[in-house]
Structure 1
Amino acid sequence: MTHTATTAAPPQRVLLAIVTLPLLFGCGGGPFDYVPASGRVTYEDGQPLQVGKVIFKSMAPAVGGAHPRPAGADLNPDGTFDSVTSHKPGDGLVPGKHTVAIMFAVDENGNSLVPAEYTNIATTPITVDTADAPFQITIPRP
């Protein structure tokens, strides 16, 4: 009869692995830094857009195969937004340029409060740079 010995990892090694693996791989935030971002969305006549969500898509290139996460913030009734969130609540945006779309901006009858091209990140003409925060975003009425 052959006897095979098995050994368990010493408790110190298990503890070391538990502590160091999250540090090596992170918690899902990726290799990007974030900067606070806020701003205001108004129509060309200065009236605030009172409802909707501002969506940001970074123009930064991928780093190590990871792409920056899109970010978003809810509009307040005065047209302002803060607590822009990319990864963790209120962490902000990856530094640099972003395309901006405005979504969920509809009146009580379901009519869009912004032109259709502004509601799609692929067609929106809005761009911002985090160096210019807080942002003043001006849009035409539909």
Structure 2
Amino acid sequence: MSRRMACQPASSNDYVRRLVDLSESLSKMPDPRKKIMGMPSTSKLLVASFLLLLLGGCGDSVSPYDYIPVTGSVTYEDGTPIPSGGFVLKFYALDAPEVKNMWPRPAQADIDSNGKFDCVTSYKYGDGLIPGKHRVAFFYATDKDGKLLVPKEYTLAGNSPLTVSTSDLPLAIKVPKP
């Protein structure tokens, strides 16, 4: 069972401020290439490996968008719960991007065994969705035998007929039985 953290709205200004501070710190550092060139090749490899590990999984993504925390539920149209938790909803923004030529990253939410979701994540855990309309697709929505729990068209990101709007919170998503 994954451990959930409390959802808190992310602020774009915090990310920008951290990025500027990092940039200023890096500009004051001495040129590391001067010391590395004189190192034996094994040491160079160790330094390169360390830097790759350090930079590879660290840091927050910076997003130019504002987000709205989102919670909701998923049921069949008749109100019965979908029989298996553990699947994922993906949200794809439908409105034109605020920032020219930069579509926002699709968001996702894990569905629990009661059909509830919270902490919708776009860039940072629990940041939510950008305001507007979103196409919704189901991922991993199968039972233990591999049978789809929702109609197939709801599992295809580009063809899902399901859309939601952040003006209708909390989201109450209803889908037909397969």
TM category (shorter chain) comes to 0.7 to 0.9
TM-score by structure 2 length? 0.64
| 2:89 corresponds to | 54
Deviations 1:29-88 (A, max 9, x none): 321100001111101221112321111001132313321110000101110111100000
Aligned residue type for 2:24 = I
> What is aligned with 1:125?
161
Q: Which residue of 1 aligns with 2:138?
A: 102
Q: What is the aligned-residue identity percentage?
A: 46
CA drift at 1:17: 4.4
> 3-state DSSP class of the match of 2:167?
helix
C-alpha separation between the residues in 2 aligned to 1:79 and 1:38?
11
Is the CA contact 1:31–1:66 (under 8 Å) kept in the aligned structure 2? no
**Counterpart for residue 74 of structure 1:** 110
Cα contact 1:60–1:68 (8 A) shared by 2: no
Letter in 1 for 2:136: V
In 2, Cα distance between equivalents of 1:135 and 1:20: 43
Structure 1 residue ranges, 4+ long, deviating more than 3 angstroms after superposition: none
Cα deviation for residue 129 of structure 1 reads 0.6
How far residue 134 of structure 1 moved from its aligned partner, in angstroms, is 0.7
Q: 2:66 aligns with which of 33, 52, 62?
A: 33
Give ranges in structure 1 of 5+ residues lacking alignment: 1-14, 22-26
Structure showing the higher strand proportion among its residues: 1
In structure 2, distance between residues paired with 1:16 and 1:75: 36
In our comparison, the structure showing a higher alpha carbon Rg is 1
Structure with the bigger percentage of helix: 2
How many residue pairs were aligned? 124
RMSD between aligned residues? 2.2
Extract unaligned runs of 5+ from structure 2.
1-20, 28-59
